[in-house]
Amino acid sequence: MQRIFHRTQSIITNNRAIGANIMSTNTTDNARKVTTRRLTEMKQRGEKISMLTAYDYSSAKILDEAGIDVILVGDSASNVMAGNMTTLPITLDQMIYHAKSVMKGTRRALVVCDMPFGTYQGNPLEALASAVRIMKESHAEAVKIEGGSEIRESIERILSAGIPVMGHLGLTPQSINKFGTYNVRAREEEEANKLIEDAKLLEEIGCFGIVLEKIPAKLAERVAKEVSIPIIGIGAGGGVDGQVLVMHDMLGINKGFSPRFLRRYADLAGVMTDAVQNYISDVKSGDFPNAEESY
Ligand code: KIV
């Protein structure tokens, strides 16, 4: 069993080595590797893009085999994996660790890794060095960065190294200490106008897509119409080019978070609790292990 596991691992690795971004010759469209270019084509033909977070090998493998288009190694790992109150504490080393694990479980989906707080705001060279570490050490295929015109130089520097960049506007959780709340952003005209300008700027300098978080649906729809790159929404309504959710939230693993935009597709916390309670009771009663489960 152990040997089969290692074989599977090396097949995935070899597929990547011979050209992860190149489509395979005799497979259906669904099996084709997702690339940044393919996301643009999906937008052009009106095909919605599905995106979820993952932070580990096993979850990434499930999402990838289920057919997800994009896996985001989000800095939400700081909340749902490490139990922090915000995304701020997670480090570059920790993000690289998560992204590396996700890459080993992913064949088809495009893997995008968040740049954590404090690794790109200082200056463009620092931003480039952080992005290069992510790409070199984790083999992720793109990075995501929160912010617009204020980090323009950093984004341009990263793009100049051939690293695909996804923007993130609207509610940007790394700025929670500036905002003070996780409420809907850009309800007021001034902030909405700045968001539209930032989205156009990100498109102009070469970002391949933008996440819009928690903004009015009408505004998000307008942005998706006015830029040619894919707009992926979270709490931004249905008029955009795709949707992203945090896997732990949509699967009901993390039940302490229930914003209006979240649709729960499972109650995995309930399933896990039942399974663990059955196990405890089997251990206590001596029912587990039985003769067939022993050597
Ligand atoms: O870190 C994350 O999971 C994200 C999504 C909420 C878009 O940035």
pLDDT in tens, 59-103: 999 999 999 999 999 999 999 999 999 999 999 999 999 999 999
Q: Which residue from 97, 93, 87 is spatially nearest to 168, judged by alpha carbons? A: 87
> Residue 195 above 90 pLDDT?
yes
Pocket test for ligand 1, best of 51, 75, 145, 171 (most atoms within 8 A of CB): 75
> 75 CA distance to ligand 1 centroid (A)?
6
Give the pLDDT band of residue 6 (cuts 50, 70, 90).
very low
Of residues 141, 146, 203, 213, which has the active-site annotation?
213
Which pairs with CB-CB distance under 8 Å and at least 24 residues apart come from 119-125?
A: 119/92, 120/145, 120/151, 120/154, 120/158, 121/147, 121/151, 121/154, 123/153, 123/154, 124/153, 124/154, 124/156, 124/157, 124/158, 125/157
Alpha-carbon dihedral 240, 245, 250, 254, rounded to 10 degrees: -150
pLDDT at 121 over 90: yes
Ligand 1 pocket mutation pick from 52, 68, 72 by most atoms within 8 angstroms of CB: 72
pLDDT attached to residue 235? 98
21 CA → ligand 1 middle, Å? 24
In the CATH scheme, what architecture does the domain 2-264 have?
A: Alpha-Beta Barrel (3.20)
Query: Model confidence at 186, in pLDDT bands (50, 70, 90)?
Result: very high
Residue among 78, 86, 87 whose CB has most ligand 1 atoms within 8 A, to mutate: 87
Which residues' Cβ are closer than 6 Å to ligand 1? 53, 72, 74-76, 114, 211, 213, 234, 244, 246
Which one has a higher pLDDT value, 124 or 9?
124
Query: In the chain, what are the domain boundaries?
Result: 2-264, 271-295
H runs (alpha helix) in 67-175: 77-80, 92-104, 124-133, 152-160
Q: What is the pLDDT of residues 149-159, one digit of tens each?
A: 999 999 999 99
The per-residue pLDDT for 3 is 33
Planar angle of CA 253, 134, 231, nearest 5 degrees: 65
Query: Is 213 noted as a catalytic residue in this protein?
Result: yes
CA 71, CA 85: separation in Å to the nearest integer? 23
Give this prediction's pTM. Answer: 0.91
Q: Of how many residues is the chain composed?
A: 295
Q: Which residue has the tokens 């700025």?
A: 175
Q: Quote the ligand 1 centre to 193 CA distance (angstroms).
A: 23
Q: Nearest C-alpha to atom 4 of ligand 1 is from which residue?
A: 74
Q: Which residue owns the Cα nearest ligand 1 atom 1?
A: 74
Ligand 1 atom closest to the CA of 51, numbered from 1:
7
26: exposed, middle or buried (C-beta count within 10 Å: 0-12, 13-18, 19+)? exposed
Nearest to 262 by CA among 165, 181, 182, 169: 182
